[in-house]
Amino acid sequence: MSNTSIKISLIVPCYNEQAALPVFCRETMEVLKHMDCDFELIFINDGSTDDTLPLLRKFAKDNPHVTYLSFSRNFGKEAAMYAGFANAGGDYVAVMDADMQDPPSLLPQMLEILQGGEYDSVATCRATRKGEPKIRSWFARKFYRIINKISDADIVDGARDFRLMKREMADVIVSMSEYNRFSKGIFGWIGFRTYWLHYDNVERVAGQTKWNFWKLFKYAVSGIINFSQVPLSIASWFGILMTLCSFFFLLVIIVRKLAFGDPVAGWASTICVIIFIGGIQLFCLGVMGQYIAKTYMETKRRPHYIISESNREDIRKVK
């Protein structure tokens, strides 16, 4: 079957990627040219402070397949991907990093799997966490175990955001307009038949990762809050546990009073108990606060991103 009648949209979020972009563009174009299908590259400049934007302007001028959207500031990768989905016009849509960690050479195989008709999306997954700091891998594995236990979304350990999907699936993703976005959760939550492609971890070709440990940790906590209500029930469970404990201690006190009289003692233990319970209460309040904060942000209905510049007229500047 000839592919010329189909179109692929590639969404590429870019934040300070001036070093990686030329390599990415060259290699990806090379792969796409040989795929015998129409394609568009949608670059999202996520408020870069280096020469990413001038580079994108130049790509767009030289190549009619290139679209760029430039945000008014850094809104984060999630917002950048959302902007890409909202403006992608292809029959198939893919998300790719600009740093070559998502090998474009996998695209033909991914398209072939989708055209087989049995699957709606092809997702990629790192076969190993080679080259990653040990402590980061440990936290990542724990995170995946916890979130899969306490949420409906099926989130695969080592999954990357790199995936190719059919138009229908991309439309569903656009329709999920929640402000607090966690794409790995959204992809898993919406379902559809997904084929998992495993490949060895590839190192970034140039530039530096935008994620430090603390940023990743916050992203993980936010993922859990976005896709599970279980932390909210922690307060109730602590409450039940505490009540049972207090009944037990009451019994001990009564028996001691009847058996040995009432020696006044235990100031230290009283303070300990007060601090312990105070700590748990504050923790539970904090958990609740996290959910309320998310609800607060959702109710404001602020745009996910603001586009200040693009080479296309028909894009939605705010969504």
Interface with ligand UDP, residue 210, by CB under 6 A? yes
CA distance 7 to 234: 48
CA distance 198 to 173: 23
78 binds, among ligand UDP, Mg ion, none (CB under 5 to 8 A by kind): none
Which residue number, 213 or 248, has a Cβ lying nearer to ligand UDP? Answer: 213
* b/e 272-296 (16+ beta carbons within 10 angstroms → b): eeeeeeeebeeebeebeebeeebee
Interface with ligand UDP, residue 187, by CB under 6 A? no
Selected from 171, 193, 211, 295, the binder of ligand UDP by CB under 6 A is 211
Which residue number, 221 or 271, has a Cβ lying nearer to ligand UDP? Answer: 221
Helix, strand or coil, per DSSP, at residue 67: strand
Which residue number, 20 or 60, has a Cβ lying nearer to ligand UDP? Answer: 20
Number of alpha carbons in the 13 Å side-chain half-sphere of residue 179: 11
Report the interface residues with Mg ion, using CB under 5 A.
97, 99, 101
Q: Tell which residue, 296, 295, 298, 316, has the closest CA to residue 307.
A: 316
Cβ 306 to ligand UDP shortest distance, Å: 15
The structure tokens 């230290």 sit at 268
**Contacts (CB under 6 A) with ligand UDP, residues 56-75:** 74
Which residue number, 60 or 159, has a Cβ lying nearer to ligand UDP? Answer: 159
Phi first, then psi, for residue 127 (nearest 5°) are -70, -35
Binding site for ligand UDP (CB under 6 A): 13-15, 17, 46, 74, 76-77, 80, 97-99, 101, 204, 209-211
